[in-house]
């Protein structure tokens, strides 16, 4: 059973935030395609141009992250000097989006990389720093851009190679959340840090199959550690398993006695309209879970329409080199529990 006052260290993987750690504010900025999706109303800014007014794709991604952080500060009514640390990451080599964006801010930076799990990696770490007292306010942020990710991991954007139906579409967007103690906003109660899981899937155009076991591992650990079950939550989302990984995860969870059916969704299936053919299996990228969490989920928690949500962001830790050298895809997932109205 769930204990009433767990200690901060619940297990090797699960942390309980015993202070009143809250997601004080959040902001989401997206590109044109996401802006036409079903969650458009929950986004703070929609760029109508994939270049976001910049000259290169990389500068465009930087603009998305910078916009998200500026909007976040504005919504929270604070200046950059009021934030102690920013934890952020992206998908580009040497985390350039994060590093170049932070250069414009007067905030100490911790750059992080967890592929598409970066959204919850940064949020969990931000919450732990705030809970422990090392930071009064911390920002967690991440971004991805369809064109920069294509270049980083696959082919030039205009290359006419055919993608298989298991492939996914990287979300163009950035999300940021402000973590602090007290005040209003959903409480951040638990975080479960994932282990790397590699089930031997080698196809970089099938991330859903590769990542589902990592998500199952983290979710099962989370339930075992906290004494909670899927029914403890109104909504459980994974980051970007999309239409292939989604049913696999359900089956893996059911095999261990966790029936996810009623509460489970995947951010990769929420960002774009269900009939959008060119996204193939669904959305992916750091921004997939970030725009859904910092946009839709936070809004629903604040309005009281959702009470308890578990976000399990999934990341495929491959590189083009590791794939070309014949290695399978190691994957990871980090989960954070958000609770409104307490």
- 3-state class of 154 per DSSP? coil
> Are residues 221 and 13 in contact, defined by beta-carbon separation less than 8 angstroms?
yes
Nearer to another protein, 186 or 204 (CB): 204
Nearer to another protein, 113 or 169 (CB): 169
**Residue 28, C-beta contacts closer than 8 angstroms, at least 6 positions apart:** 42, 43, 44, 45, 68, 173, 174, 175, 176, 290, 291, 294, 295
Shortest distance in whole angstroms from residue 6 CB to another protein: 20
Shortest distance in whole angstroms from residue 235 CB to another protein: 21
Shortest distance in whole angstroms from residue 14 CB to another protein: 13
E strand or H helix at 244? helix 242-255
Shortest distance in whole angstroms from residue 216 CB to another protein: 5
Nearer to another protein, 106 or 321 (CB): 321
d(CA 156, CA 133): 45
Nearer to another protein, 133 or 160 (CB): 160
Beta-strand pair 331-339/187-192: antiparallel
Q: Which of 236, 245, 233 is nearest to 201 (CA)?
A: 245
Shortest distance in whole angstroms from residue 155 CB to another protein: 7
Nearer to another protein, 134 or 155 (CB): 155
236 φ/ψ angles, rounded to the nearest 5 degrees: -120, 125
Which residues bind to another protein, rule: CB under 8 A? 55-58, 151, 155-166, 197-201, 206, 209, 212-213, 216-217, 219-221, 224, 243-244, 247-248, 251-252, 255-256, 278, 281, 328
Shortest distance in whole angstroms from residue 12 CB to another protein: 13
Q: Which two tokens stand for residue 180?
A: 């602090």
d(CA 107, CA 137): 11
Nearer to another protein, 26 or 221 (CB): 221
């Amino acid at each position: 059973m769930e204990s009433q006052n767990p200690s901060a260290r619940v297990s090797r993987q699960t942390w309980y935030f015993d202070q009143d750690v809250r997601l004080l504010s959040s902001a989401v900025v997206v590109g044109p395609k996401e802006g036409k999706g079903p969650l458009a109303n929950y986004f703070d800014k929609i760029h109508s141009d994939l270049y976001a007014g910049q000259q290169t794709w990389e500068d465009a991604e930087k603009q998305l992250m910078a916009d998200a952080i500026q909007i976040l500060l504005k919504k929270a009514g604070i200046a950059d000097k009021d934030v102690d640390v920013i934890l952020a990451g992206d998908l580009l080599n040497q985390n350039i989006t994060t590093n170049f964006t932070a250069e414009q801010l007067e905030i100490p930076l911790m750059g992080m990389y967890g592929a598409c799990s970066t959204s919850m990696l940064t949020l969990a770490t931000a919450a732990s720093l705030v809970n422990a007292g090392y930071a009064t306010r911390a920002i967690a942020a991440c971004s991805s851009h369809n064109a920069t990710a294509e270049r980083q991991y696959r082919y030039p954007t205009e290359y006419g190679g055919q993608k298989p139906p298991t492939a996914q579409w990287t979300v163009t967007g950035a999300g940021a959340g402000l973590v602090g103690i007290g005040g209003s906003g959903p409480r951040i109660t638990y975080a479960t840090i994932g282990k790397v899981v590699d089930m031997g899937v080698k196809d970089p155009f099938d991330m859903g199959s590769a990542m589902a076991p990592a998500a199952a591992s983290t979710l099962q650990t989370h339930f075992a550690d906290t004494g909670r079950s899927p029914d403890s939550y109104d909504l459980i989302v994974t980051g970007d398993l999309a239409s292939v990984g989604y049913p696999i995860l359900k089956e893996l969870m059911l095999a261990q006695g966790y029936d996810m059916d009623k509460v489970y969704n995947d951010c990769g299936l929420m960002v774009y309209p269900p009939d959008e053919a060119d996204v193939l299996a669904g959305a992916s990228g750091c921004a997939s879970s970030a725009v859904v969490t910092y946009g839709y989920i936070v809004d629903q928690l604040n309005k009281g329409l959702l009470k308890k949500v578990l976000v399990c962001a999934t990341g495929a830790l491959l590189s083009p080199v590791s794939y070309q050298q014949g290695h399978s895809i190691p994957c990871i997932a980090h989960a954070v529990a958000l609770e409104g109205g307490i």
